[in-house]
Structure 1
Amino acid sequence: MSFETIAFTVEAGIARLTLNRPDRLNSFTDRMHEEVREALTRVETDPAIRVLVLTGAGRGFCAGQDLNDRSVSAGDAAPDLGASVEKNYKPLVLRLQNLRVPTVCAVNGVAAGAGASLALACDVVVAGRSASFLQAFSKIGLIPDTGGTWFLPQRVGMARAMGLALLAEKLPAGKAAEWGLIWQCVDDAELAATVDALATQFATAPTRALVRTRQLMRASMSQDLAAQLDAERDAMRELGQSPDYREGVAAFMEKRVPRFTGQ
């Protein structure tokens, strides 16, 4: 597939997926969904890729769904928005949450609607200071989708999640970091360098251990302590037999930088 709505590159173990419709604030169309699916398939099947960086082109990260891609004029049949969620947004979030490599989201400018939830589906979110997060669904008679009703309460608590969703107020990146919605807010001029440094770190890290950590962190939200301890035991048993564990211990003992392969 030749990409028209995204840019996708791979270099030094780092895959970069850029939503590339800057004239429409990188809002989603069916075509963009198809191209993102293709890019994620490449990430899933290329063992040389060790991390995915997701960002947007131009002055914004993603404004969510492009409403021009749907017909809602008077007299038209009502669109089945549930079908759109089932076909596009649900599998997109689940693929990001279960990707075989860690994910870093660089939020430049506004992340609105599904775009805000898309960012929160990544493992680590870094935003420029001029960026903001907006759940604008209530303004058009909808609910926060793309995992919005799941991510928000878990990240910032029910009171703040309710306010963001019901009032549809814009949340500046600095406050998003203070509230724990995202990992970090940096000056706009530092965003690219900060994300590059994170991506480079992840591209040379023990990939399986990072992904298992993600899985266990998320599992902790739905199971009790005993079950979590069992899951930790199983993960330690698995990772203790990995080449990266042996390399990590050897590097520590030899006082050198480890050379992880991610296997």
Structure 2
Amino acid sequence: MIITSFDRGIARMTLSNPRRKNAITLEMAAAMEEFCARVRADETIGAAVIDAEGGYFCSGADTRDLADSSADPASPEAVARTSAVYNAFVGVGRLPVPSVSLVAGGAVGAGLNLALATDLLIVTPDAVLDSGFLARGIHPGGGHLALLGRAVGYQQAVALGVLGAALTGTEAVRRGLAWAAVEPGELLGTATRLVAKAAADPALARRIKDSATLELGPPAVPWSAAVEIERGVQMWSLGRKGHDGWARKPAAPGTGADGG
């Protein structure tokens, strides 16, 4: 099952299938799509956090569904099963708000896809991030190689996705795959602090996230195009702030007087 909460601008989705290391079942995939639809529709939400119960993030798609699909992989039923799981984490990747996954224990296969679908990962030092497809004797799915490539570049994507190398949480931070490594009890607090500004201003957070998606891609756009993407939205934000808004509090240290 999936547990969701919506509080103070933060949407939280918790995988709750701990007996199977939070493997994604078809029912869970459907619930994940409902969560994503809620986030897209509710403009009071400025950030999303994805985590899991039981000390393990996600072991991938449920192997029982994979076994059923392997019996006749070209059948409409098999395609529908795999597509349901793909659609779940593609929906997370298309959220209009910044998203963070909290990875304890491990993220394998489609579970790693889910983590990589978010904008950044916070991990425990001993978490295992493992492509897992090669070890299971199957080809990666769900755009796995593209997700790895955009996160860590070609060479490291090949090491992980083609050669089956795995990383600990500490190694993932060092290689740029994750943002920070903290102890399990600090995961949620770290994420909550990280997304606090976005959660407090959902309208602006959504517009900045949209610009980041357009500019960074893939494919990324040149600087000149990025200037034009940002121009109109920054003007919107200036108009929203208004002339008097600049006098309400001093600029943050180190930002300079103009802030722009």
| Aligned mate of 1:180, from 172, 176, 195 | 176
Q: Does the 8 Å CA contact 1:108/1:128 hold for their aligned counterparts?
A: yes
Deviation (angstroms), 1:10: 0.9
Q: Superposed, which structure 2 residues align to 1:118-137 within 5 Å?
A: 118-137=114-133
Deviation (angstroms), 1:249: 7.0
For the pair 1:211 / 2:209, whether they are aligned, the reply is yes
Q: Superposed, which structure 2 residues align to 1:1-263 within 5 Å?
A: 5-72=1-68, 76-78=71-73, 80=75, 82-89=79-86, 91-205=87-201, 206-219=204-217, 221-222=218-219, 225=222, 228-242=223-237, 246-247=240-241, 250-255=244-249
Q: Does the 8 Å CA contact 1:123/1:214 hold for their aligned counterparts?
A: no
Q: Does the 8 Å CA contact 2:12/2:49 hold for their aligned counterparts?
A: yes
Counterpart residue number, 2:255 = none
Cα distance in structure 1, aligned partners of 2:164 and 2:225: 41
Q: Does the 8 Å CA contact 1:96/1:121 hold for their aligned counterparts?
A: yes
Deviation (angstroms), 1:83: 4.2
Per-residue CA deviation, residues 38-86 of structure 1 (Å, 9 max, x unaligned), is 1111111122222111111112001111112344599x44465554443
For structure 1, list consecutive stretches of 5 or more residues without a partner in the other structure. Answer: 259-263
Deviation (angstroms), 1:250: 4.8
Per-residue CA deviation, residues 212-256 of structure 1 (Å, 9 max, x unaligned), is 33213433x42552xx5234313321331247x642875444325
Cα distance in structure 1, aligned partners of 2:68 and 2:196: 44
Per-residue CA deviation, residues 78-107 of structure 1 (Å, 9 max, x unaligned), is 465554443430x33432232222111111
SS in 1 for 2:236: coil
Cα distance in structure 1, aligned partners of 2:29 and 2:74: 18
Fraction of identical pairs, as percent: 29
Opposite residue 197 of structure 1, the aligned amino acid is: R
Cα distance in structure 2, aligned partners of 1:148 and 1:73: 19
Cα distance in structure 2, aligned partners of 1:246 and 1:20: 40
Opposite residue 215 of structure 1, the aligned amino acid is: T
Q: Does the 8 Å CA contact 2:10/2:46 hold for their aligned counterparts?
A: yes
SS in 1 for 2:34: helix
Opposite residue 134 of structure 2, the aligned amino acid is: S
CA 1:224–1:78 in structure 2 vs 1: closer, same or farther (change >3 Å)? closer
TM-score (ref. length: structure 2): 0.84
Q: Does the 8 Å CA contact 2:103/2:115 hold for their aligned counterparts?
A: yes
Deviation (angstroms), 1:191: 1.6
CA 1:202–1:241 in structure 2 vs 1: closer, same or farther (change >3 Å)? closer
Counterpart residue number, 1:261 = none
Bigger Cα displacement from structure 2, 60-69 vs 78-87: 78-87
Cα distance in structure 2, aligned partners of 1:87 and 1:183: 28
Instruction: Please report the RMSD computed on the Cα atoms of aligned residues, expressed in angstroms.
Output: 2.6
Cα distance in structure 2, aligned partners of 1:59 and 1:22: 8
